[in-house]
Structure 1
Amino acid sequence: MKKTALAAAILAMAPVAAQADLLFTVGAKASVWNAEATGQLDKNVSVEKDGLNLDSDNGNQLTVFFEHPLPFIPNVKLKQTALEVDGNGTINATFADQYFNEAVATKLDLAHTDLTLYWGLPLPLPYIDINFGLTARQFDGSASVSGTTAGTKSVDLDLTLPMAYGEVKVGTPFGIYAAADVNYIGFGDNKITDMSATLGYDLPIPVVDIALEGGYRSLSLQTDSSDVDIDADMDIKGAFFGASLSLGF
């Protein structure tokens, strides 16, 4: 009798689980990214202590997304990153065709917006999600170096690039989950690799899904001045902490 009751309960829950997978979902994520820059900006101008001496700083990451069960139509994610790092150092080098041999103040704005269209693989595994798609990334930033003698020289970091996108998320019955995603493009001497690893916990709250998240993001940027305004070979990386909220209907 107990076996029959258990089987009936499982069968009764099956349609509910199937329906849960078919919910439309809207959500948002917000986090603070403590990022530090290493490498070179404009050929041989170091951004580290032996050059521009850029400080680590906190940037903001804000994401909104919409997911649905409709076949062939992509899910949509919009992510905006606001990150500005400053520094005070001393250089003996040329930046943007201006020679500096003095103490300088630098401001590097790496603000960018991602529009991602993605699809999920239909895996028969309840706690594993794999997504793939394309990202259009628009950089809307700048870099400026100022010295008392040489004055101020600025360049825009404005460009839009298509990037390949992939994500893997592994959940557990206990609310703990891990995720990793990557955006990548390489053409000629230009390459951007943007990777994030996340560990989160879904709070036991009914109706809406609220989670606390932490992780590490690494943005590797290599550009050629023949294609963009300036040469760059930098890594911007650091830990982030935030929260997410989603609602199915």
Structure 2
Amino acid sequence: MKRVSVGFIAFTVSVITPLAHADTLSAGFGVGLWKTSPSGTLNNINIKQDAGLGTENNSYAWAYINHPLPFVPNVRIERIDQSYSGTGTVSSFLDTSFNGNETHTRMTLDQTDALLYWGFSLPLIRFDYGLGAKQVSGDVTITDINSNSSHQSLNETLPIGYLSGQLSLPSLPITLSADTKTLRSRFNDTTFKARYDITTFGLKLGAEAGYRTQIINSNDINNLNIDMKIDGYFAGITLVF
């Protein structure tokens, strides 16, 4: 992973913080399921055709707090737990060759995002922008019917930029939003969603649904050559006040 210098971070913060508007005190929390389908390659392996990895239901959660303190960033935390398994015909992985006609692959790719951001609001519209870190924690294990096995961890912390926009529909308890977390061309995590507030006062209970896409094109994660796309629809419940 290429480190982001302290000087670069300080410069970025010095540029964006004067634009920040103070928020009112607010917070939110959400949990749900993301129906994901991975595709692409991991080293020399096509994870769909060779490894047989298919669609899975994976859990996610997020929480944020906005506050009225000027120039102090707001905080958002996100978590995804991803696990995939499949049966295929992988010939080799890293230094291990598989002699059997059938291989079993298991991949986990859990992620935790910690974001510091500032925001400003216009009538019906809000924009957020900031910086953060994405911690990737997982592994890949491939085993054949002759008990040959290869295991590789997938652990790294990546610096990311964060942008978000929200649109509240007038006279309706519906909020449309989009956000992206990115590390140039090596990583992108983009979400489009709609939230419907079932209750519209005090602690708002709601439901959300949308589409999320992650693109990983990197050798930063344990020096593996990863060219992978993970996408699918999601739905969950929210509490916002």
2:16 maps to what in 1?
none
Question: How far, CA to CA, are the matches of 2:208 and 2:40 in structure 1?
Answer: 28
1:193 maps to what in 2?
188
2:173, 2:198 within 8 Å by CA — same for their partners in 1? yes
Question: How far, CA to CA, are the matches of 2:137 and 2:199 in structure 1?
Answer: 39
Give the partner amino acid of 2:107: L
Alignment of 1:207 with 2:202, yes or no, is: yes
Match of 1:183 among 162, 168, 181: 181
Question: How far, CA to CA, are the matches of 2:202 and 2:176 in structure 1?
Answer: 22
Alignment of 1:232 with 2:223, yes or no, is: no
Task: Structure 1: state its 5+ residue gaps.
Answer: 1-20
Could you give the per-residue CA deviations for residues 35-85 of structure 1, whole angstroms, max 9, x where no partner exists?
01001111x21011x210102101111111110121110000111110101
Deviation (angstroms), 1:22: 5.0
1:136 maps to what in 2?
133
Question: How far, CA to CA, are the matches of 2:164 and 2:200 in structure 1?
Answer: 26
2:173, 2:200 within 8 Å by CA — same for their partners in 1? no
Could you give the per-residue CA deviations for residues 114-160 of structure 1, whole angstroms, max 9, x where no partner exists?
00000003x4x221011000121111111111112361111010000
2:74 maps to what in 1?
75
Q: Runs of at least 4 residues of structure 1 off by over 4 A?
A: none
Alignment of 1:241 with 2:235, yes or no, is: yes
Alignment of 1:135-154 (within 5 A): 135-149=132-146, 151-154=148-151
Question: How far, CA to CA, are the matches of 2:152 and 2:23 in structure 1?
Answer: 47
Alignment of 1:47 with 2:41, yes or no, is: no
Aligned length: 218
User: TM-score, normalized by length of structure 1?
Assistant: 0.83
1:165, 1:184 within 8 Å by CA — same for their partners in 2? yes
Q: Look up the SS of the partner of 2:186 in the other structure.
A: strand
Q: Which has the larger radius of gyration?
A: 1
Question: How far, CA to CA, are the matches of 2:141 and 2:225 in structure 1?
Answer: 14
2:104, 2:143 within 8 Å by CA — same for their partners in 1? yes
Alignment of 1:62 with 2:61, yes or no, is: yes
Q: Look up the SS of the partner of 1:91 in the other structure.
A: coil
Question: How far, CA to CA, are the matches of 2:77 and 2:142 in structure 1?
Answer: 31
Deviation (angstroms), 1:205: 4.0
- Percent identity between the aligned chains? 28
Question: How far, CA to CA, are the matches of 2:32 and 2:127 in structure 1?
Answer: 22
Could you give the per-residue CA deviations for residues 173-231 of structure 1, whole angstroms, max 9, x where no partner exists?
21112100000003xxx701110100121123432122210001101111227x62421
Q: Look up the SS of the partner of 1:137 in the other structure.
A: strand
Q: Look up the SS of the partner of 1:235 in the other structure.
A: strand
2:130, 2:163 within 8 Å by CA — same for their partners in 1? yes
1:96, 1:230 within 8 Å by CA — same for their partners in 2? no
Say what the alpha-carbon RMSD is for the aligned residues: 1.7
1:163 maps to what in 2?
160
Q: Which moved more, 1:205-214 or 1:139-148?
A: 205-214
1:164, 1:185 within 8 Å by CA — same for their partners in 2? yes
